[in-house]
Every structure is written in C-alpha cells, then in structure tokens.
C-alpha cells in the first residue's frame, strides 16, 4: 500500500500484480497513508491525522473502505503501535483496534461503535503504553508501559477485564513486544531478545554482523529473524526437563544414563537396569 492510498496485490512467488493497482479514494491524496497492517485478508490503515480505516477483504474488487470512530485526542499523537483484534476473537463479531493513548492507557476502537478509553484495571493505572501484543491463542494481552523508566510488562485478559501480572523489568527502550507462543512476552532489542516471566527475565543474544532483529509470534513458539539467521524458540516440555536436567533421578533420566553407559562400554548400565527393575520402574 502506497502513501497516496493505492492498494497493490502482489503474488509473493512471482512478484507480479494479481490485480490492477486500485486507489482507495481521493481523500488519501491529501491526508496520506501513514502505515497499514494486514491480518489474513483484513487490512487496517491510518492517515496523517490518525483516522483509522479498514478493508474487510483486500481480495474483493473493488475494495470497500470503511472508517472507524475518530478519536480527537489521537489527532496529533505519535502512535508507536496499534493492535488488530480480528473478528471471532473473544466471540466478537466485529473487528477491534487497541491504540495507545499519548498520555495514559489505551483506546478500544470498535467497528461501527463509539471508542472507549481504558486508563487502568481495578484502579491500577496502565501508565503510558508503548507496545501491545496478543498471545497466539488471542486470550492474553501484554502491554509494555513506562518504556523510558520502568519497562513495565502487564499481562491481562484480552477482554481487558482481568490482570494476571505486572512486572517492572527496568528494561527500557525496547524496539518491539511479541509473545513466545502462549507462554511469555518477549521484548526485542537490536542485538538480543528478552523473554519475560512473572518475576524475572532471560536474555538471548542474537547478534549478527549487521544489526537488526525481527520477532514473530508463532502458535508453538517464537521465530526470530536476524540479518544472517533465523531462529525458532519453543517451550521445553516438563518431561524433557526431568530427563535431561543435572542429577535427575526420574526413570527416563536413569534410562538415558544406562544408554550412555552402553555407548561408552561401561558395565554400569546393567546395575541401573536391575535397580529400575527391582523398583518396578520398567
């Protein structure tokens, strides 16, 4: 989509136009298109005054442009992020947007409805919201707030009616917020990512010769793309941990130790198997 409101449908394999480029309206020649996001076949975009629009199906010709309720307080705001909550999420039959307010909280902008601002949950202020992200199942919403001072991560229901956790990470000025599957929010920096838990975080170094990292939420984990490599992170299952962690005494860990003893031609494997048999572990 170009700044003058022209929509292009391009075949990703051939690079050729699928349809003739289409103008979405003369009004965008004046106000311009600042950015756009695509979720499946639904396109959401905004103009220079932060008026949001959507096209329900970009493959429909000609595309039908509809406008969301205008929020005057967003008119001159610098919008760092906004989130599309598609139809079907939470049982909703309408598309929704979540847009950070320039001073506090966020706006819920719903198709064919008046917008609503959320400043807090149960009296606990959200503060200034920088980034928002839905988990893969679209059940949980993560907010990255007070980005210049606290680096706060807030996790709540996507319905905005229940908070599960807030953690002042002190990780300031992150470049984006994503989820690793359904398990944990992830902050992205130019040369690393940080997986954030309820009370702690883990740093993963993904440095490359040319700085740049893009994180993409997947149903079963997180895809991390650098200028040189692509990594995939997924949750380690409890059974895997109980087998491979140091000094584990589970049956699976003992069988692994017996296998290693066989590979190294050590007689200890027989003792391990006999012991497990005596305890009815095998």
Residue 277 has pLDDT above 80, yes or no: no
Query: Which residue from 190, 191, 185 is spatially nearest to 169, judged by alpha carbons?
Result: 185
- Tell me: pLDDT of 268 over 80: no
The continuous run of DSSP H or E covering 202 comes out as: strand 201-205
How large is the average pLDDT for residues 175-182? 94
| pLDDT band, very low/low/confident/very high, at 145 (cuts 50, 70, 90) | very high
* More reliable by pLDDT, 266 or 55: 55
Residue 261 pLDDT exceeds 70: yes
Higher-confidence residue of 264 and 142: namely 142
Per-residue pLDDT at 241: 76
Q: Which residue has the higher pLDDT, 255 or 276?
A: 255
Helices 251-263, 268-278: inter-axial angle, 10-degree rounding: 160
Q: Are 256 and 246 in contact (CB under 8 A)?
A: no
pLDDT at res. 243:
79
pLDDT at position 65 over 90: yes
pLDDT in tens, 1-18: 999 999 999 988 898 888
State the pLDDT at residue 39: 84
Please give the average per-residue pLDDT across 248-269, as a whole number. Answer: 76
- The reported pLDDT for the residue numbered 177 is 97
* Separation of alpha carbons 215 and 197, rounded Å: 17
Task: Map out the domains of the chain with their CATH numbers.
Answer: 68-234 (2.130.10.10), 240-278 (no CATH)
Task: Give residue 85's pLDDT band: very low, low, confident or very high (50, 70, 90).
Answer: confident
CB count within 10 Å of CB 276 equals 15
User: Between 162 and 251, whose confidence is greater?
Assistant: 162
Where do we find the tokens 């969301």? 68
Cβ-count burial 176-199 (b if 16+ within 10 Å, e if not): bbbbbbbbbbbbbbeeebbbbeee
**Of the listed ranges 31-35, 138-142, 273-277, the one predicted with least confidence:** 273-277
């Amino acid at each position: 989509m170009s700044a003058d409101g022209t929509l292009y449908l391009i075949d990703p394999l051939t690079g050729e136009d699928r349809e003739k480029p289409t103008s979405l309206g003369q009004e965008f020649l004046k106000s311009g298109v600042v950015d756009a996001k695509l979720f499946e076949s639904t396109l959401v975009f905004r103009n220079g005054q932060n008026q949001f629009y959507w096209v329900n199906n970009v493959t429909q010709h000609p595309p039908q442009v509809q406008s969301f309720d205008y929020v005057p307080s967003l008119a001159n705001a610098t919008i760092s992020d906004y989130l599309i909550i598609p139809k079907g999420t939470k049982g909703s039959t309408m598309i929704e947007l979540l847009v950070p307010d320039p001073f506090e909280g966020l706006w819920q902008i719903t198709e064919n409805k008046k917008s609503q601002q959320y400043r807090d949950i149960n009296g606990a202020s959200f503060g200034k919201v920088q980034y928002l992200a839905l988990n893969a199942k679209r059940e949980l919403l993560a907010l990255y707030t007070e980005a210049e001072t606290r680096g706060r991560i807030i996790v709540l229901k996507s319905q905005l009616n229940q908070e599960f956790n807030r953690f002042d990470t002190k990780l300031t000025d992150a470049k984006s917020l994503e989820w690793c599957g359904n398990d944990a929010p992830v902050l992205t920096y130019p040369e690393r990512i940080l997986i954030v838990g309820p009370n702690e975080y883990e740093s993963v170094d993904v440095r490359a010769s040319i700085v740049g990292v893009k994180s993409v939420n997947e149903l079963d984990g997180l895809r991390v793309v650098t200028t040189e490599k692509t990594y995939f992170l997924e949750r380690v299952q409890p059974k895997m941990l109980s087998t491979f962690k140091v000094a584990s005494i589970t049956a699976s860990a003992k069988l692994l130790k017996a296998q290693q003893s066989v590979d190294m031609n050590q007689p200890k494997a027989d003792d391990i198997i006999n012991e497990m048999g005596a305890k009815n572990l095998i």
